[in-house]
Structure 1
Amino acid sequence: MSADKVFHSRSQGIPSEGVKDQYADGKAARVWKKYIGDSNQRTQNYKNFLTGLLKKHNCVKVLDAACGTGIDSMMLVDEGFKVVSVDASDKMLKHALKARWEKRKDHKYDEWIIEEASWETLPEDIQSFLPGATFDAVICLGNSFAHLLDEFEDQRTQKMCLRNFAKVLKPGGLLFIDHRNYDAMINSGATPGHSIYYNCSYPVDIKTSVLVVRGKPELVALDYLIHTNEDAELNEQSMFRLCYYPHELDKFTSMLDEAFDNKAEHSIYADFKALDQVENPAYYIHVMRKPLN
């Protein structure tokens, strides 16, 4: 960052060159796992929304492109989908690999593939361990894509990664991708407080900071304080910072359309409901359907 962009964008212990892996110290990953809970704690609305659309469109083979600790992947495996899970964070993947090992007696988990991969080289990375593979659906949910910051100030890397998601989809395949309501954060300086993904059993406070450079919002930092005082394992590391690129709804919608050459069906939901049903959503969820030809 240049001198006019000095900002502490990471939790203590995370290397400055590793902004793409903000869980690199391993401690934040453990706290995050507690925050999101397990697959049985996913909100029913989320589960019904995702699995319902996947089944409606006859999707079988699903790429979880930001699998983290494997929570969503496990939910999909349990529902009978064939899942390939990738993440750029090896610290998060360790939790997913451990979860798969703990499920080794369940035959549904025998075909669950877990590999390290980068969005920037996603087609090539997938070819390295699954030559010729394409997917009925790709999911990148839980505000994961916003971890990718705008290093060149023209969003070229973000645009390239969205095109990579489109490339690994079969014709007619679905991309599920979301982002927090950054429009609201920019305008109010606060994060809409309700969660649509997690039923966390711990009290959580989120402090929101918006970095504006030359009149343009460039970074949102969320300081999570998770009150885990009764959990001896996590008591020392219950506070951490995650940084995001503040995707505004209109701009992100245009970027997605361009990634599919303006030919895909594009549906937008607010907290898994129609846009006009939610006044101040926590998340916007985009569902792209790749054209058949």
Structure 2
Amino acid sequence: MKSANEQHFGSDPIAVRDSDHFTAEYTKSFAEKWDDLIDWDSRADSEGRFFIDLLKQHGKHKILDAACGTGFHSVRLMREGFDVVSADGAPEMLSIAFDNGRKYGMILRTVQADWRWLNRDVHGKFDAIIVLGNSFTHLFDERDRRKALAEFYAALRHDGILILDQRNYDRIVDKGFSSKHKYYYCGDQVSAEPEHVDEGLARFCYSFPDGSQYHLNMFPLRKDYTRKLMHEVGFQKIDTYGDFQETHREDEPDFYIHVAHKDYHSGDAS
């Protein structure tokens, strides 16, 4: 009998394509290793002040970190003076995020929330919502993606922005995986590589120095598809960055970062 710390994908792991399965994938033992995978110091060095400066540039103060994970961005933003609410769908992640906040002398306001019913679980309006760490790819059903984006839209103030990132799945699906993880996954001797990729699934294996392995099943979002969904739920203007740079070659970035604006500015291009 498997323990609660072991992941369960059944007899055919690549058949698991369910938006509700991710909470079972983030077991206690996997969540406890997540900070080894990310390496907070290296992550901070690689992304610099990109999100901090972006939010300040747009005059945003009240932030919902809707996929807070172990709290990396929540803590960084709070240290910069932002008013932050930290949400996640995985309770094991929220517990570690709260503990990480205390290590930095901060009390995170954490809430477990399902994006599809975000406004039921999280109250109030926000200047900005951030959905980082490739987390939006946990949604496998287009109806779930549309519902989540609509919930984000509704939770934003009239001039709010949504910042959402994703892996460069266009390259992974079309050309194979070649990332060195230099921006997002910075831990020493830790690997994060796909075991299986098709148009409907990217199954990643995370290997740690102690020999342990964990998996995540994710939907391979294409960049233009994500932008299309954002437009269709009402976002007026979308800026897309590659690895924290405004300009990039299409095949270069490991990650795309979409900044979707709720309000409309005459003359803005999308």
Partner of 1:8: 13
More displaced stretch, 84-93 vs 19-28: 19-28
The one of 30, 33, 40 equivalent to 1:31 is: 33
Equivalent runs, 1:139-158 vs 2, <5 Å: 139-150=130-141, 155-158=142-145
The alignment's TM-score, normalised by the length of structure 1, stands at 0.79
- With over 3 angstroms needed to count, the CA separation of the structure-2 counterparts of 1:119 and 1:205, relative to structure 1, is closer
More displaced stretch, 155-164 vs 278-287: 278-287
Partner of 2:99: 98
Contact 1:23/1:29 (8 A) holds in 2: no
Equivalent runs, 1:186-265 vs 2, <5 Å: 186-204=173-191, 206-211=193-198, 217-226=199-208, 228=209, 235=210, 238-260=212-234, 263-265=235-237
Deviations 1:166-215 (A, max 9, x none): 1111111111001111111111232523332343233425234113xxxx
CA RMSD in angstroms comes to: 2.4
Q: Could you say what secondary structure the match of 1:267 adopts?
A: strand
The aligned length equals: 254
Partner of 1:168: 155
Contact 2:190/2:206 (8 A) holds in 1: no
Distance 2:48 2:82 in 1: 13
- With over 3 angstroms needed to count, the CA separation of the structure-2 counterparts of 1:92 and 1:71, relative to structure 1, is same
Distance 1:49 1:25 in 2: 30
The one of 245, 252, 264 equivalent to 1:273 is: 245
Aligned amino acid, residue 134 of structure 2: N
Partner of 1:61: 62
Contact 2:19/2:140 (8 A) holds in 1: no
- With over 3 angstroms needed to count, the CA separation of the structure-2 counterparts of 1:30 and 1:281, relative to structure 1, is same
Partner of 1:135: 126
- With over 3 angstroms needed to count, the CA separation of the structure-2 counterparts of 1:208 and 1:192, relative to structure 1, is farther
Distance 1:177 1:159 in 2: 14
Equivalent runs, 1:53-92 vs 2, <5 Å: 53-92=54-93
Question: 1:20: Cα distance to partner?
Answer: 2.6
Question: 1:126: Cα distance to partner?
Answer: 0.9
- With over 3 angstroms needed to count, the CA separation of the structure-2 counterparts of 1:168 and 1:199, relative to structure 1, is same
Q: Does 1:184 align with 2:171?
A: yes
Aligned amino acid, residue 84 of structure 1: V
Distance 2:183 2:19 in 1: 31
Distance 1:67 1:10 in 2: 27
Aligned amino acid, residue 45 of structure 2: Q
Q: Percent identity?
A: 31
Distance 2:256 2:12 in 1: 27
Aligned amino acid, residue 62 of structure 2: K
Distance 1:138 1:34 in 2: 26
Partner of 2:23: 21
Question: 1:18: Cα distance to partner?
Answer: 5.1
The alignment's TM-score, normalised by the length of structure 2, stands at 0.86
Partner of 1:130: none
Contact 2:62/2:83 (8 A) holds in 1: yes
Aligned amino acid, residue 253 of structure 1: R
Q: Could you say what secondary structure the match of 1:187 adopts?
A: helix
- With over 3 angstroms needed to count, the CA separation of the structure-2 counterparts of 1:23 and 1:69, relative to structure 1, is farther
Distance 2:15 2:213 in 1: 11
